[in-house]
Amino acid sequence: MRRVLMLCLAAFVLIYLVPAAVSAALWVMGDHPRSWRQADWGSAAILPPAKESPEAALFVMAARTGGLKGAIAEHSWIVVKEPGGAPYERWDKVGWGSPVRYNGYPADGRWYSNVPRVIFQVKGEAAERLIPKVREAIRAYPYAMSGGYHIFPGPNSNTFTAFVIRSVPGLDAAMPVAAVGRDYPSDGRLVSVDADGRDLRFSLFGYAGLAVGAKSGLELNILGLVAGLDLRHVGVKIPAFGTYTLLGER
């Protein structure tokens, strides 16, 4: 029994703590703003100007967060655009007391000076079909009120985005590996199935969990750090870093 425990501890250190420590060391050596006041929150010019893009669009975006948290964690948000050159609309759940924030930042704005990336996008008629369902899921988020935010284990900004993704069939996205808080059970259930039936989830109140399915592949979450396999794209999920596939980083 002791040997098994030692092997489990060694695996935890090697698979989870070592990548987190390496990421933290690389982060500390980088150049980052010292506070939110010094950070750049402006547009990163990733999305085309709304008036020049006539079709509907839906995006899930993420960027590294600020402070030392950025070594292991990302912030995520939802962006939609109705057809006909309509403006972008953005929703975030943030930690400074506000409810779900609507258009608080540019749709593709930097987060603590960190350039965001698009983790999912769909355009045209497919986006038009999904957008009403996304709006409905945003309205249904159970922690949308002021004070409905806890940095760990959740509910936090990533709990919000994960709730929307998992509530909308057809929104074929998987949350980023470093989206700490994404596995908090926002519906209060320790065992759940996504609305599209493609992923099965077990969660110990966000402190640990397991996900398996067509979208998530195989994931084991311990204290917010996620390791696993991306079965769709043939890749490995590395805590604090992300998913690395045959096609490169995701």
pLDDT for 52 equals: 86
Q: What is the pLDDT of residue 248?
A: 62
Backbone angles phi, psi at 165, to 5 degrees: -60, -45
Per-chain mean pLDDT for the chain: 91
* pLDDT of 2 over the 90 cut: no
pLDDT tens for each residue of 49-99? 988 889 999 999 999 998 889 999 999 999 999 998 899 999 999 877 678
The pTM (predicted TM-score) of the whole model is 0.93
Res 249 pLDDT > 70: no
Q: Does residue 4 surpass a pLDDT of 80?
A: no
Asked if 26 contacts 241 with a C-beta cutoff of 8 angstroms, the reply is: no
Alpha-carbon span 7 to 250, nearest angstrom: 30
Give whole-number Cα distances, 217 to 159, 174, 224, 235, in Å: 19, 9, 17, 10
Report in angstroms the alpha-carbon separations of 181 from 26, 159, 208, 248: 22, 5, 11, 25
Listed ranges 6-10, 78-82, 184-188; the one with the highest mean pLDDT: 78-82
- For 115-171, how does the pLDDT look when each residue is reduced to its tens digit (9 = 90+)? 999 999 999 999 999 999 999 999 999 999 888 899 999 999 999 999 999 999 989
Strands (DSSP E) contained in 93-232 are 101-102, 117-123, 191-193, 199-203, 208-213, 217-222, 225-230
Return d(Cα 59, Cα 158) in angstroms, integer: 15
